[in-house]
Amino acid sequence: MTTTANYILTATVDGQEHIFEYEDTMDVWQTLEEFYSSDYSETIANRAGSGEFPVEVKAMHNGKVITTYRLTFNGCVFDHFFAKGWKAGCDPYTLDEFIKDIGMKRTL
């Protein structure tokens, strides 16, 4: 597969892979926000059941994977981080807390 994407996100929902390419996102956070704000709601939200499913984000350079991020998508957590900027109790939701809550792991 030839790609010009900066990031490729694969969401596995009910055993089916949904693949999204992001050519203009500059980092994994922008990629996750774009996925949540556009592709998730338009493509997956109605099929996601509990709203939790595995996601893999591949950072690309010259068509090759340079880093892979694995995490668990959780609709509530993403909504609180990207849409509202707060967590339960109205405290500011930090990036460190978000990373912990989604179980993000990075591999090279």
Assess contact for 49 and 23: CB atoms under 8 A: no
Cα–Cα distances in angstroms (integers) from residue 24 to residues 12, 17, 96, 103, 108, in the given order: 23, 22, 24, 25, 22
Work out the average pLDDT over 77-85.
85
Residue 28: closest CA among 5, 3, 52: 5
pLDDT digit string, tens, across residues 43-57: 887 776 667 899 999
Whole-model pTM above 0.85?
yes
Max CA distance (Å), the chain: 46
pLDDT digit string, tens, across residues 83-105: 887 766 667 888 899 999 999 99
